[in-house]
Amino acid sequence: MKDSKEFKTEKLVEYFTNKRRVDVTDKNYEAAIKLDKMINLYNQEIDTLSKYYQMTLIFKKAIDFSKEYKFLKEFLNNSSVYYLDVYVEEIRIFLNKVERGLSKETLKDLLVLQKNRYFEDYTYAEYFVNQYIDYNDSPYLRDFLSYCGINENDFLRFTNIIFELNEDLYNKYVEKYNNNKLIRKSETLKKVSNIKEGITTGYTNDGDKFDNVEFFVNLPFDDLDSSREIIDDFGFKKMSTLDKRLKTIFEEIYPESVKDVMTYIYSNNLLYANPSKISEKDIMSVTYINNDKPLSDDDKRKIIEYMKERNISFLPKAFNVVKDKYLQEGLNKTSGTVLKK
């Protein structure tokens, strides 16, 4: 009759070598299932602290793990047992090494991370931070969050988790963040320069004749979120409304042009407080009257297409100035063609 050690060894080997599906509810395979989980964790390419924590959910200490599988030493003449024992030894060494390196402060940090569910949420954090690194459609966090369907607080929590648990990935995140910041600053400087030059000379630095449409083409932000990022990028004082935030930017970059720029904006009623955006659906559903006739759906689609092509924000005033120009003289597209009514 087989003793308990021999029986446990047999079941362990059977679990790892048998091709048929094992009944995971069978208590005879409990030790094998735990070892399988430990081996999978050991082979994962995740940071040491996160790996250690997840292992401690299976075995609290290295000594507990060692005791569970010490019986394997008696059956090393079996090649399958030897293979498993090698893994047991490597995992034991890993656990001991981590535990010896854990100071009281580190242990305290570990408990805080555990309490804050950092390890539990690590998979989500890793996924969304990698998504941020790979996202190239816009340098604005607002657009990335909209693309992923998550809120800013959750994303900031995810970056904190990565900061604590994955130094390499966090460094890649910082590199991407800094690159996006440079892009935002560069675009902002170019756009405010175009507005200043357009109001002063009648033409932007790009050679486009300046008018209300070109103002919206060069408006560096269109809501509080995007303006907040830009204001933070430059370290400027954060005012409460969009018009005041734009004024702050000109005060810092082109102080000599502030009066002329703000006079132009207010006299044309182009930007005020914090306007809400409109959607394509809103535009298509609203009736716009021109010379006692409603604007056709085809006209609306042409205006929408133009605003998208020139990256004009869907603000109510922006739509109206584009619509008015379209009806009066047509719209010059970037391709050089003209959209006529």
Spatial contact of 46 and 166, defined as CB atoms under 8 Å apart: yes
pLDDT the model gives residue 107: 62
Spatial contact of 288 and 323, defined as CB atoms under 8 Å apart: yes
Spatial contact of 195 and 207, defined as CB atoms under 8 Å apart: no
In 202-288, alpha helices (H): 212-217, 224-234, 242-253, 258-267, 280-285
Give the pLDDT mean for 185-207.
95
pLDDT exceeds 60 at position 340 = no
Cα-atom radius of gyration of the chain, to the nearest Å?
Answer: 31
Crossing angle for the helix pair 224-234 and 242-253, nearest 10 degrees?
20
| Higher pLDDT, residue 101 or 264 | 264
pLDDT the model gives residue 336: 38
Mean pLDDT of the chain: 87
Copy the structure tokens of residue 243: 């018009």
14: confidence class by pLDDT, cuts 50, 70, 90? confident
pLDDT the model gives residue 335: 39
pLDDT the model gives residue 110: 66
Give the pLDDT mean for 224-238.
92
Most confident of 78-92, 156-170, 255-269: 255-269
pLDDT the model gives residue 287: 87
pLDDT the model gives residue 202: 95
Rounded CA-CA distance 239/96 in Å is 55
Q: Is 193 exposed, middle or buried (0-12, 13-18, 19+ CB in 10 A)?
A: middle
Spatial contact of 146 and 152, defined as CB atoms under 8 Å apart: no
Q: Among residues of the chain, what percentage have pLDDT more than 70?
A: 90
Note every long-range contact of 7-15, with CB atoms under 8 Å and residues 24 or more positions apart, other chains counting: 8/71, 9/71, 9/72, 9/74, 9/75, 9/78, 9/81, 12/72, 12/81, 12/84, 13/78, 13/80, 13/81, 13/84
- Please compute, for residue 106, the number of CA atoms within 13 A of its CA located in the half-sphere on the CB side: 12
Q: Which of 17-21, 164-168, 178-182, 282-286 has the lowest mean pLDDT?
A: 17-21
pLDDT exceeds 50 at position 125 = yes
Copy the structure tokens of residue 55: 């292992």
pLDDT the model gives residue 12: 85
| Higher pLDDT, residue 101 or 321 | 321
Spatial contact of 41 and 50, defined as CB atoms under 8 Å apart: no
Rounded CA-CA distance 319/325 in Å is 10
Q: Which residues of 277-308 are buried (b: 16+ CB within 10 A; e: fewer)?
A: eeeeeebeeeebeeeeeebeeebbebbbebbe
